[in-house]
Amino acid sequence: MKGSLHGRTARAYHYRFLARLQGNGGDLIGAPCFVDQRGAFPITLPVDVVAELHPGGEALWDLRLSAYGGPEIRLAMPAGDLVDRRDVSVLPVLRCAGPGGGLSLRPQLTRDHDLVVRTADTVLGRP
Is the pLDDT reported for residue 86 higher than 70?
Answer: no
> Percentage of the chain with pLDDT > 90?
17
Closest by CA to 19, choosing from 56, 77, 72, 91, is 72
Which pLDDT score, from 0 to 100, does residue 38 have? 84
3-state secondary structure the chain: CEEECCCHHHCCEEEEEEEEECCCCCCEEEEEEEECCCCEEECCCCHHHHHHHCCCCEEEEEEEEEECCCCEEECECCCCCCCCCCCCCCCCCEEEEECCEEEEEEEEECCCCEEEEEEEEECCCCC
pLDDT tier, 119 (very low <50, low <70, confident <90, very high otherwise)? very high
Q: Is the pLDDT of residue 100 over 90?
A: no
Percent of the residues in the chain that have a pLDDT greater than 70, as a whole number: 80
Kindly report the pTM of this predicted structure.
Answer: 0.80
Distance CA 84, CA 64 (A): 21
For residue 121, which of 59, 63, 44 has the smallest C-alpha distance? 59
pLDDT score for 63: 93
Q: How far apart (Å, rounded) are the C-alpha atoms in residues 47 and 105?
A: 8
